[in-house]
Structure 1
Amino acid sequence: MSNWKALQDAVKTRFGSELDHEALLFIIGLQELAQVNRSFKKQEKLEIMHIAVCVLLAPYGFYKYTGRDADGWPHFESLKSLPSLTPKQQHRL
């Protein structure tokens, strides 16, 4: 079983239903941000999802973690451009 499938199964067990990819990205981003006891503005929620994308794609050489800013937000350097993908390919990735 893939790690992604295992994560989906664990989330389904915990929350009683499957979450979509955006919800899972948000949860991963929150975990990386480690600031869960506060509310976030819409733009911050998008940035949290971007944190997750960076974390997930870093092992493939697309991003490199560069550290945290004064507010504790992680920052990443883009190392190479993401390829153009169809929606189906994006879902698979």
Structure 2
Amino acid sequence: MLKKDLELDRRWQQLRLRLGEQIGRRPKDLNAILFLIGVQELGQGRRTFSKEEKQDLMHIAICKVLSYAGYYELEGLDEQGWPHWKMVNPLPHFDLLEQEKLLKMQVLDYFEQEMGWVFVG
């Protein structure tokens, strides 16, 4: 494993531990953390979501975290208050492992910028 991969893994584990302290249990994977980001970005509080809404929350989170790297920008909110994003730069053609690494790095950036959290590699 490369040094930068080890650093990413250490920072990722720190995020999972910190979220566990905040919400009472450690999120098990990237999807769980993306769901939490989606709920946060929607801003409608804790409630029950339909399967389709959960998919939309994941999309909101992915667009939000990738906006830090310049791939998406917020277009606005619809009449129900759901954010809508547009792609402004094409995503690189990565394999699944590289896609996951990109998302993890951007999720860490999200928590550093939005919450002021610091993660040490």
TM-score by length of 2: 0.66
Unaligned runs of 5+ in 1: none
> Over aligned residue pairs, what C-alpha RMSD do you find?
2.0
User: What amino acid is the match of 1:35?
Assistant: Q
CA contact under 8 A between 2:17 and 2:26: conserved in structure 1?
no
8 Å Cα contact 2:74-2:83 kept in structure 1: yes
Select the residue among 35, 51, 73 that pairs with 1:26. Answer: 35
Which piece of structure 1 moves more, 66-75 or 79-88?
79-88
TM-score by length of 1: 0.84
Given the alignment, which residue of 45, 48, 73 partners 2:54? 45
- Please name the residue that 2:92 is paired with: 83
Relative contact order, higher structure (CA 8 A, sep 6+):
2
Q: Please state how far the C-alpha of 1:18 moved relative to its aligned partner.
A: 4.3
Percent identity among equivalent residues?
Answer: 37
Question: Where does structure 2 lack aligned partners over 5 or more consecutive residues?
Answer: 1-6, 103-121
Aligned length: 92
Deviation per CA, 1:34-80: give whole Å up to 9, x if none.
12343211111011011001110102111001111110001111112
Counterpart Cα distance in 2 of 1:40 and 1:31: 13
Counterparts in 2 of 1:37 and 1:16: CA distance versus 1, 3 Å: closer
One of 50, 53, 76 as aligned partner of 1:67: 76
Moved more, 4-13 or 80-89: 4-13
